[in-house]
Structure 1
Amino acid sequence: MKYTYENVTNIFNKIVLFCKVNGKFEYTNLECNILEEYGKFDTCMLKSVNRTHKYATVKLIAAKLLNNIKTNMRFLKRLNGYKPFLYNFTVDTCQFLRNPKGRNKVSDFFFGLIGPYSNLNHSCPLKDILVDKVPISFLSHQLSKVLPVPNGQYKIETYWLIDGAHVADVFISFRLF
């Protein structure tokens, strides 16, 4: 069977029919790490304003201009530990930021989760990176209506490589119920 975008989408939609998808999103953890010579995370937090308004903020202060960046992203689901779920891909971040639409639908979708709330609106070199106040209401809509993800506990792991060396990672854990 040849795997095309349409075939994979049809298979995924059939799986979703057998899984319960309600679309309530809740952050459970956010972790940011970087090698000291590349900068520091000034902010890496989940904030709860009240019961319904919660958001995530990440602010990286780079020690120098960042070029030749690649990002590896893994989407994991918790099943007796975190196991791969759907996606594990690497993207040339600088090339993606030069032309963010249309190259890779998966990259477009995941960038769309943070793009409206970030300062990543230009290509490399990057200095300071800010992803500010990504609300649960937006993510809940994206992960239930746009890409209906089944209920469960999930983790998105991003590994940042500069000149081929692993220098930073950002992990976000959440649950859908």
Structure 2
Amino acid sequence: MYFKHLVVLSFVFAAYQIVQITSRVELTNLKCIPLDKSFADFEYCRIKAVNRSYKYLALKVNLFKVPVTNVSINVSVLKRLNGYKPFLYNITFDACKFMSSKNTNPLIKYFYSFISEHSNMNHSCPYSHDLIVDKVSIEFLNHQLTEVLPVPEGDYAFYTSWYAYGKNRADVRIYATIT
């Protein structure tokens, strides 16, 4: 009797190990589009593969008209279904107001958590220096998108439009696949 239970328990454990699924995030493309080069331009914008297991995202924006005291950001998430279609979120917010009190909106706080530890944009306005997002690793994004707030499998686009003084100055588009 004990042996039968042990065999069944072993079979269930082995089946669980085979069926257990872990999600993975893979960055497929990154596009940084300066819309007003007299205001700001990208020094670099890349997905860097250090080796087979370590990849990261990095970008640097050179600001030419500083200090910047009025910033708004539009964040939209799109999913590929016969082209990229809106998926759940499309939000515009005052970045200066958010940075002075980060607890105002949990959704914006979640999106900000993607870059907060990897950026020099961690203070309130004014911004009188170049903006850097450095070495946001795939493992970090994987944790945010599959454990903190799980996202269904699929191909996604994460569009951000950066406005200063009411004018769109730059767009950053991140494309990823979650499997």
- Pick the TM interval, shorter chain: 0.7 to 0.9
Q: CA deviation at 1:142?
A: 0.7
Residue 85 of structure 1 corresponds to 87
Are 1:22 and 1:151, in contact at CA under 8 Å, matched by a contact in 2?
no
Once the two structures are superposed, the pairs formed by residues 10-89 of structure 1 within 5 Å of their partners are: 22-34=22-34, 35-65=36-66, 66-89=68-91
TM-score (norm 2): 0.85
Report the AA paired with residue 53 of structure 1: Y
Deviation sequence 1:35-77 (CA, Å, 0-9, x none):
1111210110000011110000010010022221100000010
Give the 5 Å matches for 1:93-132. 93-100=95-102, 102-126=103-127, 127-132=129-134
Report deviation, 1:122. Answer: 1.2
Specify the SS of the correspondent of 2:38. Answer: helix
Query: 1 or 2, which has the higher strand percentage?
Result: 1
- Structure 1 spans left out of the alignment, 5+ residues: 1-20
What is the rounded CA distance, in whole Å, between the counterparts of 2:44 and 2:28 in structure 1?
Answer: 17
- What residue identity is the alignment partner of 1:91? F
**Structure 1 residue 82: deviation in Å?**
0.3
- SS of residue matched to 1:73: strand
Give, in whole Å, the separation in 1 of the partners of 2:22 and 2:75.
25
Amino acid at match of 2:84: Y
| CA distance, structure 2, for counterparts of residue 93 and residue 150 of structure 1 | 28
Same amino acid, percent of matched pairs: 44
Distance 2:57 2:37 in 1: 23
> Larger Rg: 1 or 2?
2
Gaps of 5+ in 2: 1-20
The CA distance in 2 between the partners of 1:90 and 1:63, in whole Å, is 24
Q: In 2, are the aligned partners of 1:23 and 1:141 still within 8 Å (CA)?
A: no
Aligned residues: 157
Q: What amino acid is the match of 1:86?
A: L
Contact 2:120–2:131 (Cα < 8 Å) also in 1: yes
- The two structures have a TM-score, normalised by structure 1, of 0.85
Q: Which 4+ stretches in 1 moved above 4 angstroms?
A: none
* Deviation of 1:167 (Å): 1.1
Match of residue 143, structure 2, among 141, 145, 151: 141
Tell me the C-alpha RMSD between the 2 structures.
1.3
Q: Indicate the residue corresponding to 2:166 in structure 1.
A: 164
